[in-house]
Amino acid sequence: MSTAYTNDEIAALQEKAKRHLWLHFTRMSSYADSDVPVIVRGEGQYVYDQRGKRYLDGLAGLFVSQIGHGRTEVAEAGARQASELAYFPLWSYAHPQAIELADRLSAMAPGDLNRVFFTGSGSEAVESAWKLAKQYFKAIGQPNRYKVISRSIAYHGTSMGALAITGLPGIKEPFEPLPPGGVRVPNTNFYRAPEFVADDIEAFGIWAADEIERAILREGEDSVAAVFLEPLQNSGGCFPPPPGYFQRVREICDRYGVLLVSDEVICAFGRLGYYFGSERYGYQPDIITFAKGVTSGYAPLGGMLVRDALMEPFSQGQSTFLHGVTFAGHPVSCAVAMANLDVFEKEDLLGNVRANEAAFRATLEKLNDLPIVGDVRGDGYFYGIELVKDKTSRQTFNDDESERLLRGFLSHALFDAGLICRADDRGDPVIQLSPPLTCTQEHFDEMEQILRAVLSQAWTKI
């Protein structure tokens, strides 16, 4: 299929984009003198722009396209559903697609996470989990529990509640005051661990987990409702949990009656080689929040999987969880999610990630010979490459250098070279990769080659 637009079509779209479209988290001024990148088509691991130029989708869109692009069977499942029942709410009614998907997800989820509350997005899932925690504790006679603990630099979404949980001061500040109760603890970046645990990853993990206990005690142990943690923290550049970290966190949560919410908006559905990130790292959450990969982006959907016990107060008498959104569990999205999960099973995508993740890591680790590469870290198909000014001292870039390097050069240069990935400086500067789960060695090599060329060039510009 040809994707190339004519020059007139390109110019017309550019003009409309610049005049009317507002891109998210984007400095719109940066497109004043250059084209807005417009992606028109996807196939497998690749997407194509208006001119027909091909890009390796090294970020799966935005940690979304697990099965890759252009799967007609998934698209057709959505079309069939739209013809049969395009929409009906989950407010007092159900539809077969939400029922079947809830049943399937419950069977896949660890332990007694058997109840699915659908949303339309990840932020809504996180928001819902906090609201559930608050109302649940009120319902069981612990009304003072409303605070939520999360890690610094962690991203948990942008709606006001989710933003209060997010640990990135820069994107919170314009919206202060946020809902009260967000409490921050250190993240698990071992590369930048405090000196007293810098040589011992297990001690580092225990220290980081114990910081959660210290926060609970500091805040008042009967005031904390939940701890929100990603299995592998995305923002800041892919921090895997140190060994023992989650086991210790689980113990602490149990000791103080605090809920453990595993925010798996990125890490669920194969990103780490398992349906759920908590499975990979061997811990049992009370709530899992999910979105993105549940549909591989063929339609929007999110939700939370909840332990039976958290539903109990709401299954008796006049009690109701007082929360809902119009498009939650949209029939088309649920049908698409079922077809997406069929592809996972048919093609054993979890098996593909597990079989190839060591090769992905080894290929990216070749970049360690570049002076700008400080650390390559991650798991599964989810990696961060931390960039440094000095490898030995691990010195990072100052704000000006980071601005010039990431925004001024790397983002554009990587895109121009045909790789979609993320150059992020919300923590220390990192490049992030999160490709479709269908990728194999040829795609790892392509990523490595493009990164090698562009990072080598970046070094000459510092």
Ligand X SMILES: Cc1ncc(COP(=O)(O)O)c(C=O)c1O
Which of 121, 187, 356, 438 binds ligand X (CB under 6 A)? It is 121
The span from the CA of 226 to the CA of 336, in Å, is: 31
The span from the CA of 265 to the CA of 122, in Å, is: 6
| Residue 230 interacts with ligand X (CB under 6 A): yes or no | yes
The span from the CA of 230 to the CA of 166, in Å, is: 11
Nearest approach, Cβ of residue 434 and ligand X (Å): 10
* Interacting residues with ligand X between 124 and 183 (CB under 6 A): 126, 155-157
Q: Closer to ligand X at the Cβ: 277 or 374?
A: 277
* Interacting residues with ligand X between 56 and 115 (CB under 6 A): none
Find the part of the chain contacting ligand X (CB under 6 A) among 117-125, 191-199, 211-219, 391-399: 117-125
Per DSSP bridges, beta strands 419-420 and 430-433 are: unpaired
**Would you tell me the crossing angle of helices 331-346 and 72-84 to the nearest 10 degrees?**
150
Is the distance from CB of 323 to CB of 151 less than 8 angstroms?
A: no
Peptide bond preceding 231 in cis form (omega within 30 of 0): no
Nearest approach, Cβ of residue 277 and ligand X (Å): 10
Task: Return the beta strands (E) in 122-168 as ranges.
Answer: 147-151
| Residue 234 interacts with ligand X (CB under 6 A): yes or no | yes
Find the part of the chain contacting ligand X (CB under 6 A) among 89-97, 98-106, 121-129, 354-362: 121-129
Q: Tell me the number of residues near ligand X by CB under 6 A.
A: 14
The span from the CA of 222 to the CA of 225, in Å, is: 8
| Residue 122 interacts with ligand X (CB under 6 A): yes or no | yes
The span from the CA of 8 to the CA of 402, in Å, is: 37
Structure tokens at 51: 């001119």
* Contact flags string 179-218 toward ligand X, x per CB under 6 A: ----------------------------------------
Nearest approach, Cβ of residue 235 and ligand X (Å): 7
Which residue, judged by CB position, is nearest to ligand X in the bound state?
122
The span from the CA of 219 to the CA of 179, in Å, is: 16
Q: Closer to ligand X at the Cβ: 155 or 360?
A: 155
| Residue 296 interacts with ligand X (CB under 6 A): yes or no | no
Convert 341-375 to b/e letters by CB count within 10 Å (16 or more is b).
Answer: bebbeeeebbebbbebbeebbebbebbeebebbbb
Nearest approach, Cβ of residue 377 and ligand X (Å): 17
- Give burial (CB, 10 Å; 0-12/13-18/19+) of 330: buried
Q: Closer to ligand X at the Cβ: 236 or 242?
A: 236
* Interacting residues with ligand X between 339 and 398 (CB under 6 A): none
**3-state secondary structure at position 376:** strand
Nearest approach, Cβ of residue 266 and ligand X (Å): 5
* Contact flags string 259-278 toward ligand X, x per CB under 6 A: ----x-xx------------
Cα angle at 300 between 287 and 83, to 5 degrees?
Answer: 125
| Residue 327 interacts with ligand X (CB under 6 A): yes or no | no
Structure tokens at 125: 């899932």
Q: Closer to ligand X at the Cβ: 291 or 421?
A: 291
Which of 77, 153, 163, 291 binds ligand X (CB under 6 A)? It is 291
Q: Closer to ligand X at the Cβ: 263 or 428?
A: 263
Nearest approach, Cβ of residue 343 and ligand X (Å): 21
List residues binding ligand X (CB under 6 A).
Answer: 121-123, 126, 155-157, 230, 234, 263, 265-266, 291, 302
